[in-house]
Amino acid sequence: APTLKERLAELIPAEIENVKATRAAHGKKSFGPVIVDQLYGGMRGLPALIWDGSVLDAEEGIRFRGKTIPDIQEALPKAPGGTEPLPEGLFWLLVTGEIPTQEQVTALSKEWAARSAIPSFVEEILDRCPPTLHPMSQFSLAVTALNHDSAFAKAYAQGINKKDYWQPTFEDTMDLIAKLPNIAGRIFRNVYGDGKLPAIEADKDYSYNLAKLLGYAEKPEFVELLRLYITIHSDHEGGNVSAHTGKLVGSALSDPFLAFGASLNGLAGPLHGLANQEVLIWLRKMQSKLGENPTDEDVREYVWTTLKGGQVVPGYGHAVLRKTDPRYTAQREFALKHLPEDPMFQLVSKVYNVVPNVLLEAGKAKNPWPNVDAHSGVLLTHYGLDQMNFYTVLFGVSRAFGVAAQLIWDRALGAPLERPKSYSTAAINSMFQNK
Ligand code: NMX
Ligand code: MLT
């Protein structure tokens, strides 16, 4: 069976022809008008990017290469004795559009374990960070510094031919993904522990090794949770802040480390990936105010206090989704299976019963339903990982998979520099003066 790189090499020529044919057939077709409100309104709904790994439907949620979350839970290879999909398989699917064999997934686990060491100067950068520096800032610093050994940057400096860009990009993205557990583990141990890190096991899967570095390899259920977690957070089409940022920065031919470092800075915002940390803080505050088992009416009041304070309810709403996020549902199912009695899970369920009605009554949010971040923290907390300002780092480890897959294809297909047109309010007013 071919390796991922060999399979990619087979797929790329046909995809170049596919894109050519698509542009020839549809290149001049319109998606409809662009209206001025979209320029002021965060470009909502503006068709602007090609992203092959996944497409998001407002009602149904994410499909990875056409497959829903239940589809991939069924189809992707699992660890021996496990029931959740291995993220290695999801990466293969994102990159190729194909379901890999167990053997191909095992080969990927081994390859990532073999590439996992980080340079000692990056270890030193992390060790020198004050524990008060947010884990996401540390994460971004370390990923950016990996650019020191970028195969793409080196090949570019040596004059690589444009048609070969994808090859060193592929090598960099494999290194990037492989090194994230050591970076995340080091940050975790430095900030919350004694800074000592165990070694990655060469014959274990990615999620097991990440769990091991965090100190949780002895809890098989937690390892399964990580497999599910990394799989479902990996990709959410191209327009979200982290994915779009990675693609944008990559379009300047900044290497994958620079591009993904930029993604992480976007993921670190409270309206994006930091929301998983914010949810836990918000729930904890609720518990300290209302006790462990508040009534629906108490929760309702608490939600109204948040809204009246001019704050958002973290974990609810979405720029595209208009129904409950299937990533929320997948995590809820995990909780119902493994931790139905957990008091924090029960609080999350209660919040789910109350918040949508309050948001509908308040009448502003276009989507009153929960997103992925409303559920992830409570699962991690259940197994003891209650260091909530670390949660977004785990989201970031996962998001690398989606951004990496697209960076490879962008370089394979010769994607151009991104450079949309901007206007000033004065220009808008003069343009539409008499219209
Ligand atoms: N709580 C309170 N108000 C909200 C919420 C919410 N959860 N969601 C939207 N609104 C408000 C929003 O702030 C805006 O107010 P204003 O007109 O005063 O600016 C209004 O409703 C309309 O916003 P929408 O068009 O519904 O949402 P938009 O597409 O602009 O933003 C989010 C999407 C996700 C940023 C927004 O729903 C939000 O802030 N949610 C809470 C934070 C969160 O959970 N983010 C995580 C998203 C998932 N992720 O991982 O990235
Ligand atoms: C994501 O996973 O990136 C978030 O749900 C945000 C988005 O899709 O805009």
> For 209-231, how does the pLDDT look when each residue is reduced to its tens digit (9 = 90+)?
999 999 999 999 999 999 999 99
Residue nearest to atom 22 of ligand 1 (CA): 365
CB 403 within 8 A of CB 361: no
- Determine, yes or no, domain membership for 398: yes
Query: From residue 34, how far is each of 39, 41, 43, 47, 320 by CA, in Å?
Result: 9, 12, 9, 9, 17
Taking the CA of 363 as reference, the closest ligand is 1
Residues lining ligand 1, Cβ inside 6 A: 271-273, 275, 307, 312-319, 364-367, 371-373
In ligand 2, the atom with minimum distance to the C-alpha of 237 is 8
**Given ligand 2 and candidates 63, 272, 278, 316, which is best to mutate, with the most ligand atoms within 8 Å of its CB?**
272
**Given ligand 1 and candidates 62, 245, 281, 316, which is best to mutate, with the most ligand atoms within 8 Å of its CB?**
316
- Determine, yes or no, domain membership for 7: no
Same domain, 234 and 355: no
Q: What is the CA(51)–ligand 1 centre distance, in A?
A: 23
pLDDT at 434: 84
Taking the CA of 373 as reference, the closest ligand is 1
Same domain, 117 and 156: yes
Helix axes 166-192, 4-26, angle to 10 degrees: 120
pLDDT at 258: 99
Number of domains in the chain: 2
Which residues are CB-contacts of 334 (< 8 A; sequence separation ≥ 6)? 225, 228, 379
Model pLDDT for residues 102-122, shown as the tens digit of each residue? 999 999 999 999 999 999 999
Same domain, 203 and 288: no
Same domain, 184 and 311: no
Q: What is the CA(403)–ligand 2 centre distance, in A?
A: 13
What amino acid is encoded at 220 in this protein?
A: P
pLDDT at 435: 81
The CATH number of the domain where 167 resides is what? 1.10.580.10
**Given ligand 1 and candidates 318, 355, 372, which is best to mutate, with the most ligand atoms within 8 Å of its CB?**
318
| Count of Cβ atoms closer than 10 Å to residue 43 Cβ | 15
In ligand 2, the atom with minimum distance to the C-alpha of 372 is 5
- Determine, yes or no, domain membership for 170: yes
Same domain, 253 and 314: no
Q: Is the CB of 240 under 6 A from ligand 2?
A: yes
Stretches in the chain below the pLDDT threshold 50: none
User: For the chain, how many residues are written?
Assistant: 435
- Determine, yes or no, domain membership for 339: yes
CB 403 within 8 A of CB 247: yes
- Which residue range forms the structural domain that includes residue 117? 110-272+387-412
SS3 81: coil
Taking the CA of 44 as reference, the closest ligand is 1
- Determine, yes or no, domain membership for 346: yes
Q: Is the CB of 319 under 6 A from ligand 2?
A: yes
Same domain, 248 and 359: no
Same domain, 261 and 314: no
Same domain, 408 and 352: no
Q: What is the CA(422)–ligand 1 centre distance, in A?
A: 24
pLDDT at 370: 98
Active site positions, annotated:
272, 318, 373
66-84: burial string, b at 16+ Cβ within 10 Å, e else: ebbbeebbeebbbbeebeb
- Determine, yes or no, domain membership for 433: no
Q: What is the CA(42)–ligand 1 centre distance, in A?
A: 12
Same domain, 206 and 292: no
- Determine, yes or no, domain membership for 102: no
The CATH number of the domain where 377 resides is what? 1.10.230.10
Residue nearest to atom 46 of ligand 1 (CA): 272
In ligand 1, the atom with minimum distance to the C-alpha of 241 is 51
The beta strand positions in 39-95, using DSSP E, are 54-57, 61-64
Q: What is the CA(433)–ligand 1 centre distance, in A?
A: 32
- Determine, yes or no, domain membership for 428: no
Same domain, 222 and 256: yes
CB 377 within 8 A of CB 280: yes
Same domain, 221 and 264: yes
Query: From residue 268, how far is each of 62, 265, 321 by CA, in Å?
Result: 22, 5, 21
Same domain, 213 and 346: no
pLDDT at 53: 98
CB 185 within 8 A of CB 217: no
| Count of Cβ atoms closer than 10 Å to residue 14 Cβ | 9
Q: What is the CA(313)–ligand 1 centre distance, in A?
A: 8
Q: Residue 195 is encoded by which pair of tokens?
A: 């800074």
